[in-house]
Structure 1
Amino acid sequence: MKKGNVYRIYPDKEQKTLLEQHFGAARFVYNHSLFLKKLMYNKFRINITEIDLNNHLVSLKETFPWLKDLNSQSLQQANRNLLTGFKNFFEGRGSYPTTKRKKDNKFSFQVPQNYQINLTSSQIYLPKIGWMKIILHRDFLSKEFIEKNLVIKEVNGEKILDQKLNTELKVLKTLTVSRTPAGRYHVSILIENYETYPEPASFNEKTTVGIDVGIKSFAVLSTGQVIDNPKFLKRSLKKLIKLQKSVSRKQKGSKNRKKAVAKLAKHHQLVANQRKDFHHKVSAKLISDNQALAIEDLNVSGMIRNHCLAQSISDVGWFEFIRKLMYKAEWYGKTILRIGRFEASSKLCNVCGYKFSDLTLDIREWKCPSCKTLHDRDKNASINIKKIALNNLNTHGTWERAYGLTDKSQGKEVGSLSVFS
């Protein structure tokens, strides 16, 4: 099982300059290789391989000598990322690779090898950059696993975990260094702990819960529980508008403008962190309390095109919440059942099955003309989501089959779906 853990690092002034150079170099090599690959294919129908791109780096360093001062493996990794992007595009898992721009505020580069972690003094060593402070707020591997399986060297009484000394076991994978728009530096350590994913636990109607996500309430469960929407962005909107006005008043290129931009970015970072923390807590609670969860397959990218709801939908963060539910279900042997986005979950009476076709978004409660049951819109939807998901299991396949990944034809209607499928 591969897992990534993100930790904050604190480089000094010189190290920050080196990190920024690595960010820029990785972006430069990626864009240059993309241009070269498109040019050679469009003009000569030649498909350039990763080996060709890495060999071209030698001549590229002669043209741009400043590339010689940077970690060569990070530059090669940029080429590998480009080819991975093309592979994902041709296999239908992503869009066509485009050039990376500095103004997109996505700064990162990868270190495949030769990094070290000082477990005693909480420091990390990056090639061409040096040692810097790292906050290891959680263990990326258990102490028992490290002592039994990994090679640890001691320097002046301090225990250091060297990736180079543990290459054969292939536990310490690629390390990714990134910077947020707020100026915070992080490293993500990918590890292979050789643990297998647990077999999905059996479930039934009682251990399955339906979840209807929304804007007024973050989520309503088929059990009747309502999870309020904290609306982190809306609560901070006045402060953000004030900070944005402060940026607009400053002269472009001035130091005061840079300070104002930093303040604005930090507040955006605060809102994003609040939302992420909320998603993690709710998803962890739902996964631990239930054996199976039934959710809708939402077209979030299409829904945010509605300008009246775009800000609220972005604030609630449905896509990231569902993504967290899915990979945590895989970690702990739980099952995610998904129903199609065109199922009439809100318009169906969960008691008699009557369909109220005239139901609009502004109607929060409605009375069934057939059985006279008064429905709360969201609770009724969550109950129907659960019923439809369980009915789909009985219609499309056995319960045992639903525990694993289903084929593409049933992919979004039934089964335990993985975010990595």
Structure 2
Amino acid sequence: MKTTYQYRLRPNKRQAQIFESWLELCRKQYNFRLDERLSWWSENRCPVNSCSLVSCSIAPPREQPNYYEQKKDLKTSKQLFPEYGDVHSQVLQNVVERVKKVYERYTVPDKNGKRSGKPRYKKVGRYRSFTFPQMKVDSIQGNRINLPKIGLVKMIVHRPIPVGFQLKTTTIVKKAEHWYISLVLEDVSIPEFIPDIIPTAENTVGIDVGVNSFLVTSDNEVIKNPRWYRKSEKRLALLQQNLSKTKRGSRRRRHLGKKLSKTHNKIANQRRDFHHKTAKLLVDNHEVIAHEDLAVKNMSKRVAPKIDDEGKYLPNNQSQKSGLNKSIIDCGWSQFLSILTVKAAKAGRLCVAVNPSGTSQKCSNCNQDVPKKLKDRWHSCPHCGASLDRDLNAALNVKQKLIQRRSVGRHDRNAQAVLNS
């Protein structure tokens, strides 16, 4: 079993300077290795090796840079730039591994035949973490951790590390002006436990996430949407406006940039804390939790443009959709459902995603279609006379969809929980 614990670091002045210098060196190394791969891709991806119109042949393509060749070439970087000798070798190897992953996502299609966008070079301040792929067993000493080539660094242990777990990987992350450490812990003796539970009407609750209310359960429990981003939107707009008026490279611009990043970091922390508390409340009170298998990325996309016969763009209500997209992203449904799944698995409970088709349009009482627009917030069924809140009706449908399955067990694809916190 693997799990991840994150703690805040309190490095001294010398250690903070080392962190900053390592991030900058890793950023430059990342851009260099990425440029090697992208330049080869742009020059040699064409399968043509000779020209039929000219008698001369095209020069043979050079070899494609790969993970192992770039890893060997790190010795050359250390010879040309001695400052790289101060960086731990495995940290630099991890940079090459990151380049390999982003490049393969761009060039190799996934199982659906889709590829990621072209990877971009990291600007100053955009490379925010470095990783130690291997750590010694006794690296953690009380409230300090012994990092290779850096020494003992103080960390705030706000929760104890579970007994029996061994430290595998360590990642140092910079968020705003603070430093954090993510510890990947593993205990081989504990298997990944997925309970075999049969959902029933008594042990199952259905939840429907929304924008007006963060979620509504099938027991008619309503959790309000805190709208963390919306509450700080005016302050963010003012900071961004003042930042745009400053001169690039000036001291005031750096000061306002730090203020802006602090505000964004605070909003993210507030949202994450709310998600953890809400997920714990559901896991403590229910044995089986059913939710919709939402494609949040598709729900928050821009509206497709409308073009008439003359090629002119027509109104497509994108301004209204932009406000809805902002509210959806402010809720953070994907993060919440991920946290909920992990907490349920660790507590021996079950969290299952069901097909969201028809949960809002069908009546939970008679299962008949009752078409509604997004602005219609009340469900009134003309067939059976049921009248209730739209979100409550959807939560009841989600619960019924899960109960209608014969069983949910170890081989259910939606019930496989990845134990990462």
Fold match by TM threshold 0.5: yes
Q: Deviations over 1:90-122 (max 9, x none)?
A: 5549836723413674500001235664534x2
Question: Which residue, out of 58, 74, 81, partners 2:75?
Answer: 58
Q: CA deviation at 1:349?
A: 0.9
Residue 325 (structure 2) aligns with: 310
Q: CA deviation at 1:47?
A: 5.5
What SS does the aligned partner of 1:353 have?
A: coil
1:178 and 2:165 matched: no
What SS does the aligned partner of 1:294 have?
A: strand
Residue 159 (structure 1) aligns with: none
Comparing 267-276 and 252-261, the one that deviates more: 252-261
What SS does the aligned partner of 1:196 have?
A: coil
1:106-185 paired onto structure 2 within 5 Å:
106-113=127-134, 117=139, 119-120=141-142, 122-142=143-163, 145=164, 171-180=166-175, 182-185=176-179
Percent identity between the aligned chains? 31
> Structure 1 residues 419 and 309 mapped into 2: Cα distance closer, same or farther (>3 Å)?
farther
Residue 359 (structure 2) aligns with: 345
1:196 and 2:191 matched: yes
The runs of 5 or more residues in structure 1 that have no matched partner are 147-170
One-letter amino acid of the structure 2 residue matched with residue 174 of structure 1:
T
CA distance in 2, matches of 1:261, 1:85: 28
Residue 382 (structure 2) aligns with: 369
Asked if the contact 1:336–1:417 (Cα under 8 Å) also holds between the matched residues in 2, the reply is: no
CA distance in 2, matches of 1:92, 1:274: 36
One-letter amino acid of the structure 1 residue matched with residue 359 of structure 2:
S
Question: Which residue, out of 315, 320, 329, partners 2:335?
Answer: 320
1:334 and 2:349 matched: yes
1:222 and 2:223 matched: no
CA distance in 2, matches of 1:250, 1:81: 34
Structure ranking higher in helix proportion? 1
Q: CA deviation at 1:32?
A: 2.7
CA distance in 1, matches of 2:368, 2:87: 66
1:250 and 2:212 matched: no
CA distance in 1, matches of 2:88, 2:296: 39
Q: CA deviation at 1:366?
A: 3.0
The runs of 5 or more residues in structure 2 that have no matched partner are 45-60, 302-320
Q: Deviations over 1:112-159 (max 9, x none)?
A: 235664534x222322223322111112232xx48xxxxxxxxxxxxx
Asked if the contact 2:3–2:419 (Cα under 8 Å) also holds between the matched residues in 1, the reply is: no
Asked if the contact 2:194–2:416 (Cα under 8 Å) also holds between the matched residues in 1, the reply is: no
Residue 415 (structure 2) aligns with: 416
CA distance in 1, matches of 2:100, 2:247: 41
CA distance in 1, matches of 2:79, 2:350: 54
CA distance in 1, matches of 2:233, 2:193: 43
What SS does the aligned partner of 2:177 have?
A: coil
What SS does the aligned partner of 2:211 have?
A: coil
**Aligned residue pairs: how many?**
377
Residue 74 (structure 1) aligns with: 91
> Structure 1 residues 102 and 275 mapped into 2: Cα distance closer, same or farther (>3 Å)?
same
Instruction: Compute the TM-score of the two structures, normalised by the length of structure 1.
Output: 0.82
> Structure 1 residues 220 and 114 mapped into 2: Cα distance closer, same or farther (>3 Å)?
closer
Asked if the contact 1:201–1:333 (Cα under 8 Å) also holds between the matched residues in 2, the reply is: no
Q: CA deviation at 1:67?
A: 1.4
RMSD: 2.6
One-letter amino acid of the structure 1 residue matched with residue 367 of structure 2:
G
What SS does the aligned partner of 2:376 have?
A: coil
Asked if the contact 2:213–2:223 (Cα under 8 Å) also holds between the matched residues in 1, the reply is: yes
> Structure 1 residues 202 and 360 mapped into 2: Cα distance closer, same or farther (>3 Å)?
same
Comparing 206-215 and 259-268, the one that deviates more: 259-268
Q: CA deviation at 1:339?
A: 2.2
Asked if the contact 2:130–2:171 (Cα under 8 Å) also holds between the matched residues in 1, the reply is: yes
Residue 34 (structure 2) aligns with: 34
> Structure 1 residues 140 and 47 mapped into 2: Cα distance closer, same or farther (>3 Å)?
farther
Residue 368 (structure 2) aligns with: 354
